[in-house]
Amino acid sequence: MTQINSAVTPHNAIARHDCLARKAPLVRQGILKLLAIKDSDIRILTLEQCRDAVDKGLHSGGAFSATIPLVNLFYGGFIEIDIADPTSPGQDRFILSKGHAVATVASIYADLGYFDRSLLKNSRSYESILNGHPGPLLPGVHISTGPMGQGFAVAQGFAIAGRSAPRFNSFCIVGDGELQEGPIWETVMYAAQKRLDNLCVLIDRNNGQLDTPDRMVFPMPDLESVFSSFGWRATSVDATDYEGVYTALEAFRDAPRNGKPTAIVCCSNKGQGGFSDFLNKHKVTINNKLMEQELAQQAYSREKRVEDFARYFNRLGEFPDGEQVQAVLMDIARQMHLDVAKDNLGRISATDVIGPVLTKPVPPRDKRVKYNASLLPQIDPAKEYAASDIVTAAMKIFARDPLVVSIDADLSSTSGLQSGVGAVDQNRALNTGVAEANMMNIGEAFAALGHNVWVSTFCPFVDWKVLRRIAVGYQERVESMCAKDGWLTEGHGLDLTILATAPNFETRTNGATHMGNDDNLTFDAMAHLKIVDVSCPRQLLSIMSWIMGGNRGLLYVRIMRAGSTVLYPGNFEFDFGKAYTLRESADNQAVIVSSGRGVHEALAAATKCADAGLSIGVVDMPSVDEGAMLRLFDSGKLLVFAEQNNGYLWQNFLKAVYRRKKQPADLSRVLAINTLDNNGRPQFIHSGTYEQLTAAFGLSPYQIAETITKELCDGPKPQRD
């Protein structure tokens, strides 16, 4: 039950004793009584965790109502997991979407041996890896959860992966209040369409929300009928005792798969299983007196449950083959981390056995995508290429390695991903319709499994809330990889590239909602996200090759929509954080810095300045190179940041100058031409042709050249085309 190829599960413990097939109902009843004992153990561990937390706090309402579903899942023989290596292929995956129940999961994971029981002490403190919501700092936890509605979608991504060999199931527990989040329904629809009959979601229908224990913010529909209407196999069960959830999980495990995902609506109450009604709240701080009272009540309940099991166990001796049934139950109890013993007087005891710790540092992953570089598209420097065509042609080669996965939302033709990856393996070229949040969560699931994942939509449509949660999980993975005693090792970060189409002025006449002139500054505030703005077809191909080297982390790559000329030679190699000089001479009087489509306008502006007798350099900065910025600033030459956005490079330059702390900085030789308004504030851009937009913001080649000429001298003016 707890480890693949090791312990016997309750299910196959019966199967290995052929003569016990007719006795299976007797074994089943014993299992339910053992689960009730285990329930007490987990609740006691959870309460002790609260008692020893830095804030004495516990999300008790949702943690306690989730205990029966979680204990059933992890101790009932329904999930196959490798505790020694939680990343090994083929094992089932579990996601706690309702992250508030982390205390219950942590108690179970300590009991099973993912980590030492001592980690349950001092939780929620800065020094602890056990936080108020789960994340990969904690051994066995694959993603960070807590923001409502997102973990469910990641579990769906695991289920998609689990449909291919080695096959596995994906389990998830969500709260009923969580179902008010829109992304939940993106997942419900897509999972049914993908026929994910290896996906099982347990819905904690505790009929409370936030600090209101007995009602929702607004009435919820009949969840069983709603899920059924979307093509799911749904059932509602009583989750105030063990048999209902156990029976539903049996059906998922044993019934023939019919292409329908499974939803088990676990009906209970907020704080279910707690004695004091104080525990029914969303989050509580429990004082010492109440804690002692509650622990005593839970201990007494456990004692009675052991007595109940003992009576049942002893009666089994009266049945034919009863001793064999008893042997099977003792075998199952050991797997549940219970030591069932009979003393000389015939008295039965059931002692909780926590651990031992089984999880070890997992094996490193080789994230390098294998491909034949000679087969990559050959780029003719005399031609123009659309970025999507380069992506498609390159992915037809890269995707021959099964590590490569793509997920599109909205227009897949804009990215070129689906055409490229789908030409190799359509099962790895997914499309979520217009559900960008679902796209990103599925992408995280594949990245957590070790894939090189590419997701794509219009750049303003990337879901900030989802991206932030993914970045939190990425950080926790990195922290675990760097920690002396961390469970993750090299290669266990997330390789997730967001291909953001139509940035800067590339969206053109689609209007302000679709214009990508603010996205790079918005996402620049996201920790751990690397931003790249592509200016050239050959540069794009080199960037893709660099990403295929593996372990590049979270990337936001902005690609142009219309075709563009080739700016770089055939031997160009991209390196993140490096600027590239495209036009230079010893007597440069000014340097234009740009990225993306703006580089082409900068080169044309430099040519116009040359016609007027001015020597102007051009630097392409696809990713921020602070060193190059400061060197250009120190050169004393006029430095011009010309950007078709709200000044991404310009503002990073200002931060670099400030961090250097050479005060005051003389910015009189620095110009910024961008889409900030006259007061230097960010704004959105209305519809217009490309030519209209560049003219409106002074970013046409003629206007850039005119600005530079005016700044440098009153000499010959550049000529309009």
Q: Name the pLDDT band for 199 (thresholds 50, 70, 90).
A: very high
458 and 516 in contact (C-beta within 8 Å)?
A: yes
674-686 tens-digit pLDDT = 999 999 999 999 9
State how far the Cα of 492 lies from the Cα of 447, in Å rounded to an integer: 9
Average pLDDT over residues 632-659: 96
519 and 460 in contact (C-beta within 8 Å)?
A: yes
Assigned CATH topology for domain 581-712: Rossmann fold (3.40.50)
State how far the Cα of 652 lies from the Cα of 224, in Å rounded to an integer: 52
State how far the Cα of 532 lies from the Cα of 455, in Å rounded to an integer: 15
Mean pLDDT of the chain: 93
Q: Which two tokens stand for residue 317?
A: 């001796």
213 and 269 in contact (C-beta within 8 Å)?
A: yes
Query: From residue 540, how far is each of 415, 457, 690 by CA, in Å?
Result: 12, 17, 21
Q: Is 661 exposed, middle or buried (0-12, 13-18, 19+ CB in 10 A)?
A: exposed
| pLDDT value of position 631 | 95
State how far the Cα of 418 lies from the Cα of 430, in Å rounded to an integer: 7
Tallying the residues shown for the chain, one arrives at 721
Please tell me whether residue 639 adopts helix, strand or coil conformation.
strand
Query: From residue 401, how far is each of 166, 370, 395, 554 by CA, in Å?
Result: 16, 6, 10, 20
User: Can you point out the beta strands (E) in 59-169?
Assistant: 93-96
Judge whether residue 708 has pLDDT over 80.
Answer: yes
Q: Kindly tell me the number of DSSP H helices and DSSP E strands found in the chain.
A: 23, 20
Which of the 8 DSSP states describes residue 363?
Answer: P
337-351 tens-digit pLDDT = 999 998 888 899 999
Average pLDDT over residues 579-599: 94
Judge whether residue 321 has pLDDT over 90.
Answer: no
Cite the DSSP H helix spans in 255-355.
Answer: 288-316, 322-335
State how far the Cα of 654 lies from the Cα of 671, in Å rounded to an integer: 12
373-427 tens-digit pLDDT = 999 999 999 999 999 999 999 999 999 999 999 999 988 889 999 999 999 999 9
State how far the Cα of 72 lies from the Cα of 243, in Å rounded to an integer: 9
Nearest to 175 by CA among 70, 79, 74, 261: 70
Please tell me whether residue 430 adopts helix, strand or coil conformation.
strand
Q: Name the pLDDT band for 5 (thresholds 50, 70, 90).
A: very low
Q: Name the pLDDT band for 2 (thresholds 50, 70, 90).
A: very low
Which of the 8 DSSP states describes residue 480?
Answer: H
Global pTM value: 0.95
Q: Is 520 exposed, middle or buried (0-12, 13-18, 19+ CB in 10 A)?
A: buried
48-89 tens-digit pLDDT = 999 999 999 999 999 999 999 999 999 999 999 999 999 999
Average pLDDT over residues 322-327: 92
State how far the Cα of 72 lies from the Cα of 61, in Å rounded to an integer: 18
460 and 514 in contact (C-beta within 8 Å)?
A: yes
* Farthest-apart Cα atoms in the chain, separation: 110
The amino acid sitting at 145 is T
**CATH class label, 52-293:** alpha beta
State how far the Cα of 331 lies from the Cα of 338, in Å rounded to an integer: 10
Q: Which residues contact 250 (CB under 8 A, 6 or more apart)?
A: 78
State how far the Cα of 162 lies from the Cα of 675, in Å rounded to an integer: 46
Which of the 8 DSSP states describes residue 213?
Answer: T
Q: Which residues contact 102 (CB under 8 A, 6 or more apart)?
A: 59, 63, 96, 130, 131, 132, 133, 134
**Adjacent-strand bridge partners of 262:** 200, 233
496-544 tens-digit pLDDT = 999 999 999 998 998 899 999 999 999 999 999 999 999 999 999 999 9
State how far the Cα of 194 lies from the Cα of 156, in Å rounded to an integer: 10
Average pLDDT over residues 360-383: 97
| pLDDT value of position 16 | 47
| pLDDT value of position 587 | 87
Going by DSSP bridges, is the β-strand pair 590-594/529-533 parallel, antiparallel, or unpaired?
Answer: unpaired
Q: Write out 438-459 in H/E/C secondary structure.
A: HHHHHHHHHHHCCCEEEEEEEH
548 and 390 in contact (C-beta within 8 Å)?
A: no
Average pLDDT over residues 300-326: 93
State how far the Cα of 114 lies from the Cα of 355, in Å rounded to an integer: 8
Judge whether residue 220 has pLDDT over 90.
Answer: no
343 and 349 in contact (C-beta within 8 Å)?
A: yes
Q: Same topology for domains 52-293 and 581-712, yes or no?
A: yes
CA 572, 577, 582, 588: dihedral to nearest 10 degrees?
-150
Q: Residue 427 phi/psi, 5° resolution? A: -70, -15
Average pLDDT over residues 24-39: 96
Which of the 8 DSSP states describes residue 209?
Answer: B
| pLDDT value of position 3 | 41
State how far the Cα of 687 lies from the Cα of 350, in Å rounded to an integer: 72
Cis peptide bond upstream of 664, omega within 30: yes
Q: Where are the domains of the chain?
A: 52-293, 373-559, 581-712
State how far the Cα of 428 lies from the Cα of 319, in Å rounded to an integer: 54
Nearest to 641 by CA among 625, 629, 658, 626: 629
* CA of residue 515 relative to chain centroid, distance: 26
Assigned CATH topology for domain 373-559: Rossmann fold (3.40.50)
Judge whether residue 612 has pLDDT over 50.
Answer: yes
294 and 267 in contact (C-beta within 8 Å)?
A: no
Average pLDDT over residues 634-638: 94
Average pLDDT over residues 101-110: 98
State how far the Cα of 540 lies from the Cα of 454, in Å rounded to an integer: 14
| pLDDT value of position 12 | 53
Query: From residue 555, how far is each of 82, 203, 491, 572, 591 by CA, in Å?
Result: 31, 34, 16, 20, 28
Q: Name the pLDDT band for 10 (thresholds 50, 70, 90).
A: low
Q: Name the pLDDT band for 717 (thresholds 50, 70, 90).
A: low
Nearest to 148 by CA among 120, 189, 187: 187
